[in-house]
Structure 1
Amino acid sequence: MDFELSDEQSLLKDSVDRFVQDNYSPEARMKLAETDLGYSLEHWKTMAELGWLGMPFSEDVGGFGGNAVETMIMMESMGSGLVLEPFFSTVILGGGLVVEAGSNEQIEAIIPSVIEGNLMLAFAYAEKQSRFNLNDVETTATKSGNEYVLNGHKAVVYHGATADKLIVSARTSGDSRDADGISLFVVDKAAAGLDIQGYRTVDGLRAADVHFDGVKAEALLGEEGKAFPVIEKIVDRAIGALCAEAVGAMAAANEITNEYLKTRKQFGTPIGKFQVLQHRMVDMYMEAEQSKSMSDMVAMKLDLGYDLDTKKAVSATKAQIGKAAKFIGQQSVQLHGGMGMTDEYSIGHYFKRLSTLEMLFGNTDYHLSRYSDLS
């Protein structure tokens, strides 16, 4: 495999890196996270103007025809600055589901507005009992004439409170854990019977609990009862993006920690000169480099197609990166001592985000088990 970036990909990386450097100093990020919205609409507008919101979409709908590698490049750079804007929720998850499952009319009605930065999406899939099981769905969708009526609850919907439309998984048939019988629906945020309770997550982002009480869906997305393969495919692509984000965050955490060890003195000597701490940093850098290689590999596999081998690669990568994220996050805080736990210092925010990334869409144990089941 060729791991070298093309000229266009290098320019994309430089563009995102500059954006992060200019807008995401630790102080600016903390201040932004404290706002009611939790991110910047100006930043979102800038992302649209730079074409980032259209990167993974085809040129037919106004996108740039990018692939998983380009997404990996962007997410890695965003991870280095702990970017707060809902790129992952809107573009990777929501937009990915619309493109994969939607009709041409639905794609043309939604995706251009996403690319322009005028429409935000969120994927409502998790439920209180489902943990990491994507087909554990108890929210129901009942057909009434030509409409579908949704009842149930979705938990931890990232950026659900600020999304214009929700992409919702709901059961139209079968038992609560059947893979068959799950459908996808588009629901407008203003729909009657929809109750959205937003809150701040431990990693500084925003999520919401969503209750459906006789909510009429705007549209069925894809074929009724056949949504699970679509969800699984888009979630695996999303996991690839999250792994890249974790790689960027781990690299930044290592750099911050290494600089701290060079400046923090004990007994008149920088603590970075102590051999035991040097060994610790070597272990952290090794975990980050292994994770980077795995992230690059899975992005290329996702671009080659989606089959059993790709699913195994996704789970193997998530397991490795989950383990590395937990290790680097915990070691970074420990090497900083007490100040590493304070909100005023950036390393604690990297630790929180890395801990969250280890859990999102399945932790290390889950993906080790999934890999075994697929083998």
Structure 2
Amino acid sequence: MTDHLARAGVPDARATPPAAAVVVEGVSCAYGQFLAVDDVTFSVAAGRIHALLGTNGAGKTTLLESIQGFRRPTEGTLLVFGQDPWRHRASVAGRTGTMLQESGLVDEMTVGGQLGLWQGLSVREDSVERVLEVVGLDHRRRTPVSVLSGGERRRLDFAMAIWGAPELIVLDEPTTGLDPQSRRTMWSIIRELNAAGSAVLLTTHYLDEAQNLAEQVTILDRGRVAVEGPMTEVLASIPARIDFTAPATDEAVTELAALIRGDLHTTDTGDGIAVTIRTPQLQTDVGAVTDWSRAHELALRQFRCAPASLEEVFFGMPTAGTSAAPRGRAVR
């Protein structure tokens, strides 16, 4: 994949990274009296993958439209490559590849014809053959768009977004409709484009996708930033989890609670005690649990341990996923 990028004449930007690709500072966006995006601040570093997450109606689409120059923020500063995308839309668009949730494909055209049309419209140089090979559609070049599967249509959308390896790639729900293998293949392509210097702004409802790809994450809730920071720090803010069931006495479990660094909770299952430990020091407490089980000659059933996931962060927010909660606020 990196060789494909080199043949397209795209320099490796890792050696001399430019300034932030996207700067969003105190941005608010209103629809009449309704404030859909409320004082949002974050930035997408050049050459990094940034996940912008939130429930439906959190303000993601409005922000993406503003970043692409389709709408002007009501307040705040929004810059893409140091330029106002509303005032300099053509310049910003020439350096940005976008994959929207809704495709703009022409059903009557062939796959190759669709990309040939895109080649004539884009200011970035690339070849139809290269891009089709990258997204795995080279065998469908002469196939009408109308007969493509949903997953193949998404890959064709992706092909147009990555045409010419743009400096910024905006991906809005890129893997919706893809089978698990195709999803993993797209993740690999995204990583390779990023390694060659493209910044990526990703929205997705697949939290495992965001966790696997993104180095930075911003989670919106009702138009405001609820969580923001490096992915590692965001995940570290939530305790890891250890679960198991054992035929242990109450006294033995009390002893375990004194040995670990985390919080221990138990449930009587009838044939044993189910134990859940939430801990900021997973490795230390796993060692304590295994030493304790050996000392008491206990067989641990259904033993599982895992660091915190982005899903736990997302659903741990006070109002995340609460459809009854109003989004945004009225403009005063």
Q: TM-score range by the shorter chain?
A: under 0.3
- TM-score normalized by structure 2? 0.28
Higher helix share: 1
Higher strand share: 2
Q: Which has the larger radius of gyration?
A: 2
- TM-score normalized by structure 1? 0.25
- Determine which structure has greater relative contact order: mean sequence separation of CA pairs < 8 Å that are 6+ residues apart, divided by chain length: 2
